[in-house]
Structure 1
């Protein structure tokens, strides 16, 4: 059993390709918590992939659906991998923060470019004319705004990133117990 509070959740935010889902599963195993990927919840609610929602209704409809999905969920004792655009919803982020700390997985633009091969078909909620660089700059400010913990992930293996997240969560818990 970790020294993290039993019912506290951990909310992962970051760009598409930052590793939220992959790391989230590993973190859930390490901390004995449930795992949820909000992108999957959105797809279940929409009965469509994120890209299908974007193609049919546009990026603002996808962001609205994401907010509704976040607000409808109870995330107690979970590792929550959010969609990259969750930070556009003040209400959604306020709701998530009631369950536990927000951890920003900070990955460089260059690293994301190496990781993401399907940028145009991945279901990323962005303006049609928006470049990946512009989206990166816009979202990074929001991730920093909501983050309780930031983990610099560029150049780290998944195992090293996991260890860094757990260490920072433990440090945060120790500070709050003082």
Structure 2
């Protein structure tokens, strides 16, 4: 076994995808997992399964702060290896969650530009998109971009790039 990007063997790590809603985290996680022969976890789906409700409903019922704590708890509680993790876009607000992802293996920021984000996110309520009071969608984008960059071991631009090409970039970026 060869060491990975972060000094772990490939059998002892996972790869986590972070980024804005609409960046392609779920799609690329599934493709990357298939290429690696690993499992794929989607934290949004884990939250829904754990709580028995859609993310939009949970966010409406719990409120922003409680939802963010729930998301952080789910990610911080992951016990994974040999998997690709697609995270929710707001995971970046949870320091425990970010620390857990970084400790598990490389963190890849899937970056999209603002116009692509705005076109893909549509109605934030439909996607359970977290918009803190007083911010616009563009404001959330601006607030999160440096947080994603700081947490990431690798950044891959995913807008305007075919999914298979993004997966190749990720694979090349996380190679030892």
Fold similarity call, TM over 0.5: yes
| Alignment match, 2:131 | 126
| Cα separation, partners in 2 of 1:163 and 1:2, compared to 1, 3 Å | farther
Contact 1:75 1:96 in 2 (8 A): no
SS at match of 1:36: strand
SS at match of 1:48: coil
- 1:17-53 alpha-carbon deviations (Å, 9 max, x no partner): 0000000000000011100000111112222111111
Query: TM-score with structure 2 length normalisation?
Result: 0.91
Say which of 137, 144, 153 aligns to 2:142: 137
| Alignment match, 1:25 | 30
Query: TM-score with structure 1 length normalisation?
Result: 0.90
Contact 1:2 1:31 in 2 (8 A): no
Which is further off, 42-51 or 138-147?
42-51
Which is further off, 94-103 or 126-135?
126-135
Contact 2:24 2:158 in 1 (8 A): no
- Gap regions ≥5 residues in structure 2: 5-9
Say which of 45, 48, 57 aligns to 2:50: 45
Contact 1:11 1:101 in 2 (8 A): yes
Q: Which runs of 4+ in 1 moved over 6 A?
A: none
- 1:49-84 alpha-carbon deviations (Å, 9 max, x no partner): 111111112111110100111122112111000000
- Gap regions ≥5 residues in structure 1: 174-178
Q: CA deviation at 1:160?
A: 1.4
- 1:2-25 alpha-carbon deviations (Å, 9 max, x no partner): 985122210100000000000000
Q: CA deviation at 1:134?
A: 0.5
